[in-house]
Structure 1
Amino acid sequence: MPTQPPQQAPPVQRLRIRYAKRGRLRFTSHRDFSRAFERAVVRAGVPMAYSSGFNPHPRISYAGAAPTGAASEAEYLEIGLARTVAPATVLAELAAAMPPGLDVLDVVESPGGALADLLQASRWQVELTLPPEPVATAVATFLAQESVPVSRMTRKGLREFDCRAAVLSLTVHPHGAGTRLVLVLRHTDPMVRPDDVLTGLERLAGLAPPAPPLLTRLAQGRWDAGREQVTDPLA
Structure 2
Amino acid sequence: MARRPEGPPPPPVVQRVRLRFAKRGRLRFLSHRDVARTFERGLRRAAVPMAYSAGFSPHPRISWVGAAPTGAASEAEYVELALAVTVEPALLRAALDAALPPGLDVVGAVAAEGAGLAERIDASRWVVRLPGVAEPELRGAVAELLRRDVVEVERATKDGRRRFDVRAAMVLAVCRAENDTCAILEMVVRHTTPAVR
Determine the C-alpha separation between the residues in 2 that align with 1:54 and 1:147. 48
- For 1:186 and 1:111, locate their aligned partners in 2 and report how far apart those are by CA, in whole Å: 23
Give the secondary structure class of the aligned counterpart of 2:186: strand
Q: Mapping of 1:37-56 within 5 angstroms?
A: 37-56=39-58
Q: How many residues align?
A: 193
Is 2:4–2:55's contact at 8 Å kept on the other side of the alignment? no
Identity of paired residues, percent?
53
Partner of 2:20, secondary structure, is strand
Q: 1:182 aligns with which of 179, 183, 186?
A: 186
SS of the residue corresponding to residue 165 of structure 1 reads: helix
Would you identify which runs of 4 or more consecutive aligned residues in structure 1 move more than 3 Å?
A: none
User: Following the alignment from structure 1 to structure 2, what is the Cα–Cα distance between the partners of residues 139 and 157?
Assistant: 29
Number of the residue aligned with 1:164: 167
Distance across 2 between alignment mates of 1:156 and 1:11: 36
Code of the residue aligned with 1:27 in structure 2: it is: F
Compute the TM-score of the two structures, normalised by the length of structure 2.
Answer: 0.94
Pairwise CA distance, 1:121:
0.6
* Deviations 1:128-181, CA, capped at 9 Å, x for gaps: 011112111111111111111101112222110011111111111000231001
Unaligned regions of 5+ residues in structure 2, if any? none
| Cα separation, 2, equivalents of 1:3 and 1:182 | 52
CA deviation map 1:60-104 (0-9, x unaligned):
111111111111111111111111110011011011011111110
Q: Which runs of structure 2 are paired with 1:1-235 in the superposition (5 Å)?
A: 3-5=4-6, 6-129=8-131, 130-176=133-179, 177-193=181-197
Distance 2:160 2:69 in 1: 17
Change over 3 Å in CA distance of 1:97–1:146 after alignment to 2: same
How far apart, CA to CA, are the structure 1 residues paired with 2:123 and 2:4? Answer: 46
